[in-house]
Structure 1
Amino acid sequence: MAEYEKSQRSDEYYHPGGVDAERAAGGSNSDKKEPADEGNYTVDSASDYSANEKRDLQKGLSQRHLSMIALAGSIGTGLFLSLGGSIATGGPLGSLLAYFFIGLIVCAVQFALGEVTALVPVTGSFVRHSELLADPALGFALGWNIVYGNWLSVPSEISAICVLIAFWRPDLNASIWIVVFIVITAMVAFAKVRYFGEIEFGFAIIKILLIVGLIIFGLITACGGIKGVERVGFRYWKHPGPFVPYIAEGSWGRFLGFWAVLINAIFSFSGAESVAMAAAETRNPRQAIPKAVKRVFARITIFYVLSVLIVGMLVSSDDPRIQDDSGTAATSPFVIAASAAGIKAIPSIVNAVVITSAWSASNQALLAGSRVLYGLAVKRHAPRIFLRTTSWGVPYVAVSTFILFSFLAFMSLSSGALTVFYWFINLVGCGVLISWSAILFNHLRLHAALRKQGISPKRLPWHNAWTPYASAVGLFFTILLLLTNGFRVFTKGNWSAAGFITSYLDIGLVAAAYTIWKLVKRTKWVRLEDIPLESILREIERNPEEPDNQSKGWIKIISWLWD
């Protein structure tokens, strides 16, 4: 709280030369007037753009934390519980191709995010980048969409934890667990960001150990390495077959099955973009974030592709058990295989790790959402009260709003209230595709500005010659998937108002927020020649980061995960 008074002395964000230049010019912070049009502004250096973060936040995260946070965010219930549903929808080969394809899109998104964030490492990541590279109104719309989605994600993950615990103790009152997890989530959120990083690091290690163990177990089981269990190999690829017709028959039905799994896979991979949300709280972000994104997409893709391959060997696509939507370990294809092998411990192990996954997702939603809210307040897209920070650099007002919203988890105790709660959640059902599209669009705008200003991309802190092409292709497919993610409701006999809203209303919400802010504040698209790339690059060259320390000693044994 002591930092808040300091933050009120001036608004360095709007002054081209920063607070020192203002003092030299004879002005005082108390006499400073607001700009006539705060919807349109320019900055002349990287320091001006990140002045608030440098002053109020603390750099408690390292590249090790970033890599494992992104891994922890992406390896969750989608991997442990939902792969069976993908096999049932698209078949083993259809699912394998779909997850591999989405892995390539994630690669484009991660590298685009890494290049832009290495240039401008600010809290709020691509939301703030949209303000700088495109239009302040776009940053407003994207930011509030993420804040709203995460306001609901925290209680939904806590509700999921209660369902998972009921796998063991259905007799216990769920309200007890809701209170417990709200309290411990709040404790993590208000602690120093370094402690959050260490907790997520631990969760990621647990998840990786489990998924590696399950992949090895599944391979041994499928190959007949467990006594009393018949070797299946690729039997289910032959019968019922590598693809499953979905909605229609023949080749068109098999393609629709593949496309439906593509959409499922997107939500399984969601969370990888969180690697840069706390860039301003990261040590040496221009080195740490590029290293993290390079490793994250590869490891996530490998884990998912191998898991889909193994699951396609373990269970048949027409097995009714993999279509169960109870939300507990009973739905996991790995648990189904373990039950057939007579191994009783695996269901409880999987359920326990999935509980840590849900809590990890809750922590990450709170961190990402509160930092985006802080970033919105920096530009006055949100009330300035959200800029208040503790003496150890936590935006406590922003965090507190997310804690208050977490009490919505009590709605899960009533069937009627739960229906309303999930309607709220469905309003941002396609938010991940909107975020990915924004990341790729920001990257393309950056390279267009470089060309317009005659600046070589080689001057960027991190650059890859192929990424502009990957971003263009990735943007095309993310928009295509965004427009077709609810295709089922347009097929004969499958119309559903709820399904349509889940799939498309978020597009309208973002468009409405963008339009309203643009009309009210009269914002303009930032001209490519006005983006202050030269001054930002010069400042980076004047203030190089210290080289990162390499892992030493026994930690090097597992450091391949993040180094």
Structure 2
Amino acid sequence: MSVAVKDPDVSLYPSTPDEGGAPPPKGDPTPRIVDDEENQNLKRGLQERHTQMIALAGAIGTGLFLGLGSSIQTGGPLGALLGYALVGLVVCAVQIALGEVSALMPVTGSFVRHVEILVDPALGFAIGWNVVYGCFMSVPSEITAAVVLIQYWTDLNAAIWVTILIVISAVVSLLFIRVYGELEFGFAILKILLIIGIILMGLVIDLGGVAGTPRLGFHYWKDPGPMVEYIASGSWGRFLGFWAVMTNAVYSFSGVESLTMAAAEMQNPRQNIPRACKRVFFRVTIFYFIAVLIVGMIVPSNDPRLGSESGTASQSPFVIAAADAGIKVVPSIINAVVLTSAWSSSNQSILAGTRTLYGLALKGHAPRIFLKTSKQGVPYMCAILQIAVSFLAYLTCSNNAYTVFNWLLDLTSAGVLFSWGTIALNHIRLVQGFRAQGLSTREMPWHNSWSYYTSFFALVMCVLILLTGGYTVFTAGNWSPSSFVSSYLDIPLVLVFYLGWKFYKKTKTVSLYEIPLEQALYEAREDESNVPVKTSRWAKFNILWG
């Protein structure tokens, strides 16, 4: 950590020239923000198209294909639309904050490493291990979800499919990062094609384009109505329905924060990260907004089939609408693409978990054995641990054990809000540091003058949703100990990790004058790859990654 200074004009580093003889702006460029070890041992195998499509693949999954039905049932077509729109604004603020900080500090582990530099090393320890635990537990959960989807077509023993999926996941996790990028690229294209297809199908059904079906228009907005009374009656009940949708929407959008987890393995991250953040947000938001609107037009909010929890395509509101219209092929198509979504989510959890663990090991927050990398630049010891945890998926072969496993997994359901809140807090501290040290934010690789205020909005919203996410357990007749624990236990867990490491290591909150901003700016200026990205004249016609 740099020595604190009171005068913002005083250099944070000694004024000796570097080894090459060319003096940096204000001294020796050490300690480095982007660690030499990750620079040397990790390979930059992710191109811009991989970066953008990884974020798209992470944000579009079962929450969109299968989960929209419960949102319509809880909040009604208007309540669902408003809930997803508001959370979309939060995601926008989080994406921009993540992009601005990561473009300046493109490190492995992303916001987990940023919070050590900008806020407190103890908070980095707590958030980092919370992310690692959540990602590691998500892999067997996604494998189990994939097995449920496969059993939509076959009755073969679940253990067979668990074994196959674990082996495939292990192979992917140990291969060159470029292989992962290509897989996610393909999965994202499949998802987007399915979204476009089901949206068009929904429009055709709504407009009466299927023989034997009447034109619906906005009929279901009138009957049973635009909003649903949830738990209570009247305006208060409609508000509670809207709020329940919003908490569900958070988990539908989760995954966008993993965009920069492998920043040190991206080509030209200081340019590609901002481009990906801007494009991915708009594409994801448009897809979700249109999908929610269409579902509210083709399925009534009081349809009992929306409450199905089969875990397969049969619970999708698009499948319900297609079945009513006599379109029989849709369920298998949606089930197949959702199966790739589950595998994609598993792969992304592996990437986020292993890279966060590697980043923790770099800073001494995890055993140094996890710094070992293969010749292909893969942190294989992290991957091996992730694979070992994946064997928990075999618990699906025992219903009672799997119930316990799901309960344990739900403990980290609030982790996404901790991650988003941390990203917003990092950005706020970064801008405050620039002001305190008398530096101009215009020197950053990417910055927006208004993003400082939107980060405050995102931070407040994340805290509010985190504290009220399990509000239903406090209403009359809805108390559930397991729901209460799964909604709120993550809060004291993070606090215990934070306070425990803080007292053990006696860490201090980083002073605004201690934040190594000049070092970060120096590395950005000296980064040979930090050059404008060349785009072809056809890029503007590419709605996916151009």
TM-score w.r.t. structure 1 length? 0.91
Structure 1 residues 22 and 405, CA gap change in structure 2 (3 angstroms)? farther
1:413-470: per-residue Cα shift (whole Å, max 9, x none)? 1011111101210111100000000000000000110110111111111011110010
Q: Does 1:559 align with 2:525?
A: no
Alignment of 1:77-116 (within 5 A): 77-116=62-101
In the alignment, which residue of structure 2 is the partner of 1:52? 37
Pick from 314, 323, 327: which aligns with 2:311? Answer: 327
Pick from 384, 393, 400: which aligns with 1:409? Answer: 393
1:346-403: per-residue Cα shift (whole Å, max 9, x none)? 1000000000000000000001000000000000100000000001100000011000
Q: How many angstroms apart in 1 are the aligned matches of 2:30 and 2:275?
A: 24
Long gaps (5+) in structure 1: 1-15, 25-42
Pick from 445, 455, 469: which aligns with 2:453? Answer: 469
Pick from 432, 444, 450: which aligns with 1:460? Answer: 444
Q: Is the 2:95–2:257 contact (alpha carbons within 8 Å) kept by the matching residues of 1?
A: yes
Q: Is the 2:32–2:519 contact (alpha carbons within 8 Å) kept by the matching residues of 1?
A: no
Pick from 358, 369, 376: which aligns with 1:385? Answer: 369
Pick from 201, 212, 217: which aligns with 2:201? Answer: 217
1:467-520: per-residue Cα shift (whole Å, max 9, x none)? 001001111111111110011111111111111111110011111000000010
Pick from 161, 174, 190: which aligns with 2:174? Answer: 190
SS of residue paired to 2:376: coil
Q: How many angstroms apart in 1 are the aligned matches of 2:179 and 2:194?
A: 23
Partner AA of 1:165 in structure 2: I
Pick from 262, 279, 287: which aligns with 1:295? Answer: 279
In the alignment, which residue of structure 1 is the partner of 2:295? 311
The offset of 1:272, in angstroms, is: 0.6
Partner AA of 1:82 in structure 2: G
Q: Does 1:491 align with 2:475?
A: yes
In the alignment, which residue of structure 1 is the partner of 2:112? 127
The offset of 1:342, in angstroms, is: 1.3
Q: Is the 2:33–2:105 contact (alpha carbons within 8 Å) kept by the matching residues of 1?
A: no
Q: Is the 1:59–1:283 contact (alpha carbons within 8 Å) kept by the matching residues of 2?
A: yes
Alignment of 1:131-146 (within 5 A): 131-146=116-131
The offset of 1:21, in angstroms, is: 6.7
Partner AA of 1:318 in structure 2: N
Q: How many angstroms apart in 1 are the aligned matches of 2:198 and 2:468?
A: 33
In the alignment, which residue of structure 1 is the partner of 2:466? 482
Partner AA of 1:112 in structure 2: A
SS of residue paired to 1:528: coil
TM-score w.r.t. structure 2 length? 0.94
In the alignment, which residue of structure 1 is the partner of 2:326? 342
Alignment of 1:372-451 (within 5 A): 372-451=356-435
Q: Is the 2:94–2:420 contact (alpha carbons within 8 Å) kept by the matching residues of 1?
A: yes
Partner AA of 2:505 in structure 1: K
Q: How many angstroms apart in 2 are the aligned matches of 1:522 and 1:23?
A: 37
Q: How many angstroms apart in 1 are the aligned matches of 2:544 and 2:165?
A: 29
In the alignment, which residue of structure 2 is the partner of 1:36? none
Partner AA of 1:90 in structure 2: G
The offset of 1:233, in angstroms, is: 1.0
Q: How many angstroms apart in 2 are the aligned matches of 1:546 and 1:432?
A: 32
The offset of 1:534, in angstroms, is: 1.6
Q: How many angstroms apart in 2 are the aligned matches of 1:46 and 1:270?
A: 33
Alignment of 1:162-181 (within 5 A): 162-169=147-154, 171-181=155-165
The offset of 1:160, in angstroms, is: 0.4
Identity %: 58
Q: Is the 1:45–1:539 contact (alpha carbons within 8 Å) kept by the matching residues of 2?
A: no
The offset of 1:22, in angstroms, is: 9.3
Q: Is the 2:33–2:520 contact (alpha carbons within 8 Å) kept by the matching residues of 1?
A: no
SS of residue paired to 2:509: coil
Partner AA of 1:85 in structure 2: S
SS of residue paired to 1:228: coil
SS of residue paired to 2:489: helix
In the alignment, which residue of structure 2 is the partner of 1:161? 146
Figure out how many residues of one structure are paired with residues of the other and give that number: 525
Partner AA of 1:330 in structure 2: S
In the alignment, which residue of structure 2 is the partner of 1:285? 269
Long gaps (5+) in structure 2: 1-12, 22-27
In the alignment, which residue of structure 2 is the partner of 1:236? 220
The offset of 1:338, in angstroms, is: 1.0
Q: Is the 1:44–1:532 contact (alpha carbons within 8 Å) kept by the matching residues of 2?
A: no
In the alignment, which residue of structure 1 is the partner of 2:191? 207
Q: How many angstroms apart in 2 are the aligned matches of 1:162 and 1:543?
A: 45
Q: How many angstroms apart in 2 are the aligned matches of 1:56 and 1:495?
A: 51
Q: Does 1:541 align with 2:525?
A: yes
Q: How many angstroms apart in 1 are the aligned matches of 2:358 and 2:295?
A: 42
Q: Does 1:269 align with 2:253?
A: yes
Structure 1 residues 234 and 45, CA gap change in structure 2 (3 angstroms)? farther
Structure 1 residues 360 and 437, CA gap change in structure 2 (3 angstroms)? same
> What's the Cα RMSD here?
1.7
Q: How many angstroms apart in 2 are the aligned matches of 1:492 and 1:132?
A: 45
SS of residue paired to 2:32: helix
Structure 1 residues 411 and 551, CA gap change in structure 2 (3 angstroms)? farther
Q: Does 1:72 align with 2:60?
A: no
SS of residue paired to 1:344: coil
Partner AA of 1:559 in structure 2: N
The offset of 1:552, in angstroms, is: 7.2
1:54-78: per-residue Cα shift (whole Å, max 9, x none)? 0110000012111100110111001
Q: How many angstroms apart in 2 are the aligned matches of 1:175 and 1:250?
A: 49
Q: How many angstroms apart in 2 are the aligned matches of 1:49 and 1:206?
A: 34
In the alignment, which residue of structure 2 is the partner of 1:3? none
Q: Is the 1:46–1:120 contact (alpha carbons within 8 Å) kept by the matching residues of 2?
A: no
Q: Does 1:147 align with 2:150?
A: no
Q: Is the 1:46–1:536 contact (alpha carbons within 8 Å) kept by the matching residues of 2?
A: no
